[in-house]
Amino acid sequence: LLAGPDGRELAGRKAVVTAGPTFEPIDPVRGLTNRSSGKQGYAIAAALAARGAEVTLVSGPTGLPVPVGVTRIDVETAMQMKAATEAALPADIAVLSAAVADWRVDTVAGGKIKKAPGGPPTLALIENPDILAGIAKPGPKRPKLVIGFAAETTDLEANARSKLSRKGCDWIVGNDVSADVFGADGNTVLLVTRDGADAWPRLTKTEVAARLADRIADHFSPKA
Ligand code: CTP
Ligand code: CA
């Protein structure tokens, strides 16, 4: 019943996708952020919606347009991204592709920090919560399929596999970021699951999204 007509294999399924960087303020004019264009996550949200899923895209600042058929929630910080992602549950599918800042400034200055003769300020950082690990935790609200990303410069498979078990997710989309990827239209992916790993050829981010959405659809309604 859930399988839709041709090309709408994910009709009736709900998905939450995170994308883009987070921005952690230091003071009213400065902040810490991560490198991420958001292109891959946006393409995944679009591909899931094109297959009929009801998609909520929780996005950090990217400047990208909202994909067709997708509901976007705009956030800035990791704490806001976590709250918005959890508010989008229950969902069948979670694809957490955002480049979440690992740390935030412990005490955000209320006014602009001025240059002073004593030298630069020391920023005390605290760790942000792991949104993916929280979503993947066993419980009634856990999506049936939880997919994380791992951007690595070395040992892609080993790092991706250790993230898979540490975070408790079902699949990891491993990204080789030693090659040109940030802001680029191409991506080289290793899809790591509990059963194995599948190296994809270099594809455009749109093609990666289509292939991932097809794998997701197949996971829910395997083709005979
Ligand atoms: N992630 C998350 N919340 C965080 C950090 C990461 O949800 N606070 C998610 C990312 O969206 C991604 C996956 O976890 O899907 C892996 O992110 P990554 O930065 O590679 O993992 P970390 O555990 O932060 O490890 P590292 O020390 O390599 O940065
Ligand atoms: Ca990280």
**In the prediction, which pLDDT does 180 show?**
66
Side-chain-side CA neighbours of residue 56 (13 Å) = 18
Query: CATH code for 14-105+123-220?
Result: 3.40.50.10300
Alpha-carbon Rg of the chain, whole angstroms? 18
Query: What is the rounded CA–CA span in Å between residue 60 and residue 36?
Result: 9
What's the whole-number mean pLDDT along residues 34-51?
A: 96
Residue 112 contacts residue 28 (beta carbons within 8 Å): yes
Interface predicted TM-score of the whole assembly (ipTM), two decimals: 0.98
What's the whole-number mean pLDDT along residues 167-184?
A: 85
What's the whole-number mean pLDDT along residues 66-90?
A: 98
**In the prediction, which pLDDT does 7 show?**
80
Distance 25 CA to ligand 1 centre (A): 19
Ligand 1, atom 20, lies closest to the CA of 150
Q: How confident is the model at residue 5 (pLDDT cuts 50, 70, 90)?
A: low
- Going from N- to C-terminal start, the domains of the chain cover 14-105+123-220
For residue 166, give the amino acid letter: R
The per-residue pLDDT for range 88-114, each reduced to its tens digit, is: 999 999 999 999 999 999 999 999 999
Ligand 1, atom 23, lies closest to the CA of 163
Residue 41 gets which letter from DSSP? H
Other residues' Cβ atoms within 10 Å of the Cβ of residue 206: 18
Distance 99 CA to ligand 2 centre (A): 7
What's the whole-number mean pLDDT along residues 115-133?
A: 96
Residue 15 contacts residue 217 (beta carbons within 8 Å): no
Q: How confident is the model at residue 1 (pLDDT cuts 50, 70, 90)?
A: very low
Whether 128 is a known active-site residue: answer no
